[in-house]
Amino acid sequence: MSSESAQRVFQLRLDPLTGNSEWVVIDENEEGPESIKEPLLATTSYLDMLNDSPRNRAYRLAIEKTVTKPCHVLDIGAGTGFLSMMAARAMGLSDSTASLGSSKGMVTACESYLPMVKLMRKVLHRNGMGRSIKVVNKRSDELIVGVDIPSRADVLVSEILDSELLGEGLIPTLQHAHDMLLVQNPLTVPYRATTYGQVKFTEPGICHGFVLWIDWVMDADNAIVLSTGPDHRYWKQGVKLLAKPVAVGIQRSECTSESVSAVVEAIFNPASGELIIKHVFS
């Protein structure tokens, strides 16, 4: 999508006659009553992510590098099924070749949000993969091997990520998947992530907050790296604002504040899967 083209978003709209809801694609600059015929339930900029070319390319290359033979791929938080289709294509699966009854050479797409599941089914059907990818409308921690999926998966692909790495319950979700849904020593995309917690002030001034970003290593060879840093793409940096601005990088004799250095402490809550950032100036 070019920078000059209209920004597109998903909107969840309700048909007042049938009571059914459906995600539709609109231009953000659509205005006026003629552009909205059904009650609006929700809006999301999900399409920004789907149009993030560097992100898509990194995932595609990593999946093609990881899924090199027929296997069982599990996509957690599948959304529109974008990554599931990449995995299916890497194995040469299509509606004419797939067998959902086999645990080898299959893709399971797990998505808990029903409106998104309905959209995913349409996307898969229009791309000729409606029968080659098994869609399960459940949370991943509700999946049962032998009931919802025929066997443990060999490969996990996912994008349950945010700008601060762990904010969407990443660790509990992955821990459950490894314990209950995946084979021993499974392959994963992304492969690992690096986040940085050291704060260095390069110029004196007043600090109102700071940003965080992550380098995602997509493959075991460290050849494919996707950063959420300052480069322009869908993923933005996480912003942490201070309750009270402080002076930094200034000699004590030059300011009334004694805050001249900073320590950032990241605390992970395994129960909720949330990452709490504490910042202490001294």
Q: Of the residues 159, 254, 265, 274, which is catalytic?
A: 159
**Rounded to the nearest 5 degrees, what angle is found at the Cα of 206, between the Cα atoms of 203 and 262?**
75
Our answer to whether residue 159 is catalytic in this structure is yes
Our answer to whether residue 30 is catalytic in this structure is no
How far is 143 from 140, CA to CA, in rounded Å? 5
How far is 266 from 164, CA to CA, in rounded Å? 10
Query: In this structure, are residues 245 and 207 in contact, taking their beta carbons and an 8 Å threshold?
Result: yes
The three-state DSSP-derived secondary structure of the chain is CCCCCCCEEEEEEECCCCCCEEEEEEECCCCCHHHCCCCEEEEECHHHHHCCHHHHHHHHHHHHHHCCCCCEEEEECCCCCHHHHHHHHHCCCCCCCCCCCCCCCEEEEECCCHHHHHHHHHHHHHCCCCCCEEEECCCHHHCCECCCECCCEEEEEECCCCCCCCCCCHHHHHHHHHHHHEEEEEEEECCEEEECCCCCCCCCEEEEEEEECEEEECCCCCCCEEECCCCCCCCCCEEEEEEEEEEECCCHHHCCCCCCCEEEEEEEECCCCEEEEEEEEC
Q: Of the residues 22, 38, 64, 168, which is catalytic?
A: 168
Q: Annotated active-site positions, please?
A: 159, 168
